[in-house]
Amino acid sequence: LPVEFEEALPILKQIRQAGFEAYFVGGCVRDTLLGLPIHDIDIATSAYPEEIKQIFSKTVDTGIEHGTVMVLDHGIGYEITTFRTESGYQDFRRPDKVEFVRSLAEDLKRRDLTINALALAPDGQIIDLFGGLEDLKAKRIKAVGDAKERFFEDALRMMRAVRFASQLDFSIEVNTLQAIQQNAHLLEKIAVERIHVEWIKLLLGKQPKCGLEAFVTTRLFEYCPGFAPHAQALADLSKLELELTTEAQCWGLLGYSFKLNEKQLRKLLKAWKTSNEIIAQAQHILNLLQIYSTGKKDIWACYQAKSEAVSAVAQLATLLAFPAFDAADFMQAYAQLAIKDKSQLAVNGKLLIKEAKLTPGPLLGKILNILEREVVLGEISNQKEALLTRAKNLR
Ligand code: ATP
Ligand code: MG
């Protein structure tokens, strides 16, 4: 057992000593069996939340209405969730009713994929009621039970299926794939924020090809904001060996592939409820991709984009095989900039007022901008005396 499990074992044992069942479940079991690092441990139990709170002295009600209580142990918080079933799903997203149950089988039955429906007992035994182990071995994404029904209950599961295909480099089992195809339109019922999470995890996955191909062929993309007109671009992307590292890089690449301008990219990203910071970065990446794809250079645009976006572009331009693009040259040109930020300019407004006899106001700002640009372009050195002289000339 990985050390994270060893550390959590006393918690499971304590629940068992109180007369209840307790297991590790979900992603942590899947990832351990795959030899992947685990990022969070989920524990499922037959004990009700109130019973968990009686067993442990330090608990936090993190999601008690869903049956989750956090137990604090030596500074680590463990989410312990009561076995539950879900029913209703009138609106294709969340169950009308969550019911606590005492049976592990009932709890595993409501999970999305067979590989996510495995439980691990404290003695190391795996409980596999839906063939999850076989599917892990066969690198297969398969819904638990009747795929159509499961996607009808919660349409986000379709995005999760394609996301896991990408993250794990698995293929989607044929019935599951067909069910996604038939129910893709239900994705419209899902909040864009939740689709967003899965979409970015898909693109940042180990083998985006696998997920992207299914995302296109099942037509899930048609029900994502702004994607419907871009079937071909998405299909083309699904043929590339993508290795993406940040969300902004993902969006910059999509903007470029969709042939959007910066304003259109902004509109798309607003529809996806993307943060302003990521929108700004994606716009810089798109701008640089468009410039460098034509063989042109623009060091000022690199300066404005800043380091992270510049590295993102270096990777993308290599991936997209821009003609006459040399990633090492490109990175070096950025690294050699005299300044990386206006704050590194050897003069500032205060200094110009004091020593170049400038007066506060719009002209001062304009002059500072000119100095900044000339330093970045290497037309003048970033030295106080040189900049003061130049400022006086511009006055
Ligand atoms: P990761 O955290 O690595 O992204 P995970 O499998 O742990 O993957 P979570 O979203 O943390 O995913 O969910 C934990 C578990 O809860 C899943 O493994 C799955 O069993 C179940 N689950 C999560 N979302 C759903 C859903 N929409 N429908 C059914 N079961 C779900
Ligand atoms: Mg998880």
Q: Where are the domains of the chain?
A: 1-138, 139-243, 245-337, 342-394
Say if CB 74 and CB 105 are below 8 A apart.
no
Ligand 1, atom 8, residue with closest C-alpha: 27
Question: How far is it, in rounded angstroms, from Cα 297 to Cα 59?
Answer: 57
Cα of 82 vs centre of ligand 2, distance in Å, is 16
Q: Position 22: which residue type?
A: A
Closest ligand to C-alpha of residue 29 is 1
pLDDT digit string, tens, across residues 226-235: 999 999 999 9
Task: Indicate the fold that domain 139-243 takes in CATH.
Answer: Hydrophobic Seed Protein (1.10.110)
Q: What is the CATH number of domain 245-337?
A: 1.20.58.560
205 lines ligand 1 (CB under 6 A): no
Res 94: pLDDT: 63
Atom index in ligand 1 nearest the CA of residue 117 equals 20
Tokens of 71: 């137990």
Taking residue 244's Cβ as centre, other Cβ atoms within 10 Å add up to 20
Tokens of 22: 């307790």
Alpha-helix residue ranges (DSSP H) falling in the chain: 3-17, 27-33, 49-55, 104-109, 132-137, 147-153, 156-168, 174-183, 192-203, 208-217, 231-237, 247-257, 262-271, 276-293, 299-319, 327-335, 349-355, 362-376, 384-394
Closest ligand to C-alpha of residue 40 is 2
Closest ligand to C-alpha of residue 194 is 1
Cα of 41 vs centre of ligand 2, distance in Å, is 7
Question: Each residue's pLDDT tens digit in the chain (395 positions)?
Answer: 889 999 999 999 999 999 999 999 999 999 999 999 998 999 999 999 999 999 999 999 999 888 999 999 988 999 999 999 987 666 666 666 789 999 999 999 999 999 999 999 999 999 999 999 999 999 999 999 999 999 999 999 999 999 999 999 999 999 999 999 999 999 999 999 999 999 999 999 999 999 999 999 999 999 999 999 999 999 999 999 999 999 999 999 999 999 999 999 999 999 999 999 999 999 999 999 999 999 999 999 999 999 999 999 999 999 999 999 999 999 999 999 999 999 999 999 999 999 999 999 999 999 999 999 999 999 999 999 999 999 999 98
Ligand 1, atom 5, residue with closest C-alpha: 27
Question: How far is it, in rounded angstroms, from Cα 127 to Cα 41?
Answer: 17
Say if CB 120 and CB 136 are below 8 A apart.
no
Alpha-helix residue ranges (DSSP H) falling in 78-155: 104-109, 132-137, 147-153
> Would you say 124 is a known binding-site residue?
no
> Would you say 154 is a known binding-site residue?
yes
Ligand 1, atom 2, residue with closest C-alpha: 27
> Would you say 27 is a known binding-site residue?
yes
> Is the CATH number 3.40.190.10 carried by domain 1-138?
no
> Would you say 395 is a known binding-site residue?
no
Top-level class of domain 342-394: mainly alpha
371 lines ligand 1 (CB under 6 A): no
> Would you say 163 is a known binding-site residue?
yes
Closest ligand to C-alpha of residue 86 is 1
116 lines ligand 1 (CB under 6 A): yes
Torsion of CA 109, 110, 114, 117, to 10 degrees: -80
Question: How far is it, in rounded angstroms, from Cα 94 to Cα 155?
Answer: 9
Q: Position 394: which residue type?
A: L
Is the predicted ipTM greater than 0.95, yes or no?
Answer: yes
Say if CB 345 and CB 375 are below 8 A apart.
yes
Say if CB 113 and CB 164 are below 8 A apart.
yes
> Would you say 157 is a known binding-site residue?
yes
Res 89: pLDDT: 61
Question: How far is it, in rounded angstroms, from Cα 44 to Cα 10?
Answer: 14
26 lines ligand 1 (CB under 6 A): yes
The Cβ-side half-sphere exposure at 259, using a 13 Å CA radius, reads: 6
The angle subtended at Cα 155 by Cα 128 and Cα 61, nearest 5°, is: 70
Res 151: pLDDT: 96
